[in-house]
Amino acid sequence: MKISKQELQINEDIRDKEILVIDADGTKLGTMSAKDAQKLAFDQDLDLVKIAPQATPPVCRIMDYGKYCFEQAKREKEARKNQKIVSIKEIRMFSTIDTHDFETKVNQAVKFLQGGDKLKVSVRFRKRAIAHPELGAELLDRFKEALSDAGTVDKPAKMEGRSIVMFVSPKTNK
């Protein structure tokens, strides 16, 4: 079952009385009955394909439908190959992080950003540390300064439950 693919009507599926026919090389043949157009297409060993069903009269084209489907699939595959999938990586820290651990997290974040991924940096508060959210904000400011060469902040630091979250995207090289 196909959900989003719209199938074109071909050959015997076309039940309109009058249709506008376009030849394989692009010349208009005028309006004629669907039976006559089908006969014309079969004489050329091609298919009759309805390309504009909403027009009055509907527009049909004489073409090689198998070749058309193959080229369409090839174009879609090429488009998928050229698109870049951006994933969101997350770096979690606690408000009482040590300097070496902080540097390790920064190095990991730079590696993610250079790979083209977006970054979600969160500072989690344990137990009574939630009483001092300014420590987490300072930590995220230091993190932002350390990443200033590799990325820019999309969404500034924001408190969400027991953690502060900030989003960073890679810098574009133009």
Q: What is the pLDDT of residue 69?
A: 85
pLDDT, residue 2, reads: 42
Mean residue pLDDT of the chain comes to 85
Model pTM score: 0.51
How far is 127 from 165, CA to CA, in rounded Å?
A: 18
Dig out the tokens for 155 from the structure: 């969404």
Beta strands in 41-150 (DSSP E): 47-52, 59-63, 88-94, 118-124
β-pairing, 118-124 vs 163-170, is antiparallel
pLDDT one-digit tens code per residue, 47-72: 888 888 888 888 989 988 888 888 88
Which pLDDT score is estimated for 51?
85
pLDDT of residue 122: 92
Structure tokens belonging to residue 32:
């004629």
Mean pLDDT of 99-121: 90
160: which 2 tokens?
């969400």
Report the pLDDT value the prediction gives residue 6, as an integer from 0 to 100: 57
